[in-house]
Chains A and B, each alone.
Chain A
Amino acid sequence: MTDTPATPARQSLRDWLQAPTASSPRQARAQAFWRGWQRLIANRAALAGLIVLVLLVAMAVIGPYLTPYSPLQQDLTARLQPPSAQHWLGTDDLGRDILTRILYGARITLMMALLVAAIAGPIGLAVGATAGYLGGWFDIVAMRLVDVFLSFPSLILALAFVAALGPGIENAVIAISLSAWPPIARLARAEALTVRKSDYIAAARLQGASSMRLILKHVMPICLPSVVVRVTLNMAGIILTAAGLGFLGLGAQPPSPEWGAMLASGRQFMLTSWWLAATPGAAIMLVSLAFNLLGDGLRDVLDPRND
């Protein structure tokens, strides 16, 4: 963009994004993105979800530096204290500050969700794009496999995998990923099917590009946006499954401040000290609500039929 007139940078960026006609593919893409962004933040619910998530990430990153307590250090003299000025959300049965544990727990929850997305997303994308592009036997076998995986509710399948792999946070991540990739693969396949016949793929093939190269460079990028949206939409489900595993004692193990595990150990004090179980549950709900709101908004932005 060397020929851009030397106007102040902020001004020109805004103009560039709002120019009535785009002068380059990059500008067109940036404008489309910009308009989508405008519509997303115009959706109050989606904006609320986004803000909560940004706050959550901020809390997970800096929160632990702001609290004077340790998430694991026990203080038996301060057991089961109700919320107070010292302990905003009270203390648990071992005298640990619950707010501190929630903050550390946010890290675990986000980390698990991100890891699942990082494992299941690429697997689903690769399998789906390849199946959709190649067709034939690979497609039939891959989609059968997807059908088989989809004949279980995701928690049940994750439970079976965890049972086989053994409890623990890493195994929980693997188990959830194994149950999370199939819907993504199905979606990516549908997208790949639509581009498979297009002229530019044919042109690239005529130039001698290999199937591998075509899938990586042409088919997968086309499938990517819808996969990203789908993964966002699934995030709430992933978090609930992770918390469910923790609650059943099959995910993160005590004394880890994982929210599901906290809820499980706070359960027996529910009648006398409600804050032990109520707070981690509320945290789980808030995060999954935020993801649902954001996912809804994203779908509205990307699906013009909802207008």
Chain B
Amino acid sequence: MGGQVFRTVVSVSVTILGLLALTFFIGRLLPLDPVLAILGDDASQEAYDRMVVKLGLDKPLWEQFVTYVWNSLQFDFGTSLTSGRPVAEDILRVFPATLELATVAMILGTGLGIPLGVVAAANRDTWIDQVVRVVSLIGYSAPIFWLGLLGLTVFYAALGWVGPPGRIDIVFQYDLEVRTGLYLVDSAMAGRWDIFADVFSRIVLPASILAYGAMAYISRMTRSFMLEQLSQEYIIAAQAKGASRQSVIWRHAFPNIAVQLVTVVALSYAFLLEGAVLTETVFAWPGFGRYLTTALLRADMNAVLGCTMIVGLIFITLNLLSDVFYRVFDPRTR
């Protein structure tokens, strides 16, 4: 067990170091001159040289890398060229918007995806299975930004069922006391149900569209895990004992896939970050994805690399957590 922990720690550290090396490398690929990007094209030679020293670009590459690693480990990703503030501060500010969106999406995606996958597996090769399969294939194949645009056109513009793009009405913007940064939670805590209703009407559509992709992935994985379990001998044994079909599916087979499912859910949570980049652009959602997109379009490299690194770290953390979960909850690995 101790050896296992040590190995995991080493492996994660190496991956994080690799992550830093990769982002460092991407940063040096930049055809733009970072000095000119800050100072503008008509900077004097003196100012240019001063900036080179200030950015540490005169030092040898390995020294720059060590500095970079040292700073990054303290979440110092430098200053954003667009906002003029430290990148870490910016990310912290925009992150709750994305976290809220992704969490609502995750609840919807998991809540629908798992039962659909189980039902599809239990009714293998029937029309139910086919419907689930088609629904999830479309979720896999449809570009998420297109679904977002169609959704806005139909459900907001034509039917008026959901709120407009944006996270909160400008009227409420300065009215809401922000504590957690999750507006649904904040407005509920403040007892401002009018704000809650507004926030809810706006989050429903982007969250559903993100959830669709997650649901497609989760239901598909659930189905294949379930099929594997349902073909096991212990399922025959449970049936031979007289257990009902519901009990065989939910009490015998399902617990055996729960541990695997946690990994899938953790992974799809991380993939929601990817979806968020495109969805937030469509829904004018002031979150992490839009921050990254804006930084990309302005070649704000510090911000881009900071965001990339954060996504990588989230990914690694979620993987690690699901691994820990696996070890703790599966009696076979105890």
**A in complex with B:** yes
A155 within 8 A of B: yes
Interface residues of A in 226-280 (CB under 8 A from B): 236, 240, 243-244, 247-250, 260, 263, 267, 270-271, 274, 277-278
Per DSSP, chain B at the interface is helix
A281 within 8 A of B: yes
* Bound-complex Cα distance A164 to B15 (A): 22
CB-CB contacts of A121-150 with B at 8 A, as 1s and 0s?
000000000000000000000001101110
B299 within 8 A of A: yes
A151 touches B312 (CB 8 A): yes
A76 within 8 A of B: no
Interface residues of A in 149-164 (CB under 8 A from B): 149, 151-157, 159-164
Interface residues of B in 300-332 (CB under 8 A from A): 301, 304-305, 307-308, 311-312, 315-316, 319
A289 within 8 A of B: yes
A111 within 8 A of B: no
A292 touches B137 (CB 8 A): yes
**A281 touches which of B143, B293, B312 (Cβ 8 Å):** B143
Count of A-B contacts judged by CB separation below 8 Å = 137
A147 touches B274 (CB 8 A): no
A277 proximity list for chain B (CB < 8 A): 146, 149
Per DSSP, chain A at the interface is helix
A244 touches B141 (CB 8 A): no
* Bound-complex Cα distance A156 to B282 (A): 17
B141 proximity list for chain A (CB < 8 A): 236, 240, 285, 288-289, 292
A166 within 8 A of B: yes
* Bound-complex Cα distance A273 to B152 (A): 14
B296 touches A153 (CB 8 A): no
A293 touches B137 (CB 8 A): yes
Interface residues of B in 149-197 (CB under 8 A from A): 149-150, 152-153, 157
A164/B149 contact (C-beta < 8 A), A155-B274, A250-B297 known: no
A236 proximity list for chain B (CB < 8 A): 140-141
Q: Whole-angstrom distance from the CB of A203 to the nearest CB of chain B?
A: 36
* Bound-complex Cα distance A296 to B153 (A): 32
A147/B308 contact (C-beta < 8 A), A159-B292, A270-B153, A277-B146 known: no
B149 touches A151 (CB 8 A): no
Q: Whole-angstrom distance from the CB of A307 to the nearest CB of chain B?
A: 11
A263 touches B26 (CB 8 A): no
Closest to B19 in A: A148
A148 proximity list for chain B (CB < 8 A): 15, 18-19, 21-22, 312
B30 within 8 A of A: yes
A166 touches B31 (CB 8 A): yes
* Bound-complex Cα distance A296 to B157 (A): 37
* Bound-complex Cα distance A161 to B282 (A): 22
Q: Whole-angstrom distance from the CB of A159 to the nearest CB of chain B?
A: 6
* Bound-complex Cα distance A267 to B283 (A): 12
Closest to B227 in A: A306
A153/B270 contact (C-beta < 8 A), A144-B14, A263-B146 known: yes
Interface residues of B in 263-297 (CB under 8 A from A): 270-271, 273-274, 277-278, 281-282, 292-293, 295-297
* Bound-complex Cα distance A103 to B274 (A): 29
4 A-B pairs closest in CB distance: A281-B146, A148-B18, A153-B274, A289-B141
New contact pairs (16) apart from A166-B31, A248-B277, A289-B138, CB-CB < 8 Å: A151-B315, A152-B312, A153-B270, A156-B273, A156-B274, A163-B295, A163-B304, A164-B31, A165-B31, A244-B145, A247-B278, A277-B146, A282-B146, A285-B146, A288-B142, A293-B137
Residues of B within 8 A of A (CB): 14-15, 18-19, 21-23, 26-27, 29-32, 137-138, 140-143, 145-146, 149-150, 152-153, 157, 270-271, 273-274, 277-278, 281-282, 292-293, 295-297, 299, 301, 304-305, 307-308, 311-312, 315-316, 319
* A-B contact list, 11 entries, CB within 8 Å: A148-B18, A151-B19, A156-B277, A156-B307, A159-B292, A159-B304, A163-B301, A247-B278, A249-B297, A281-B143, A285-B143
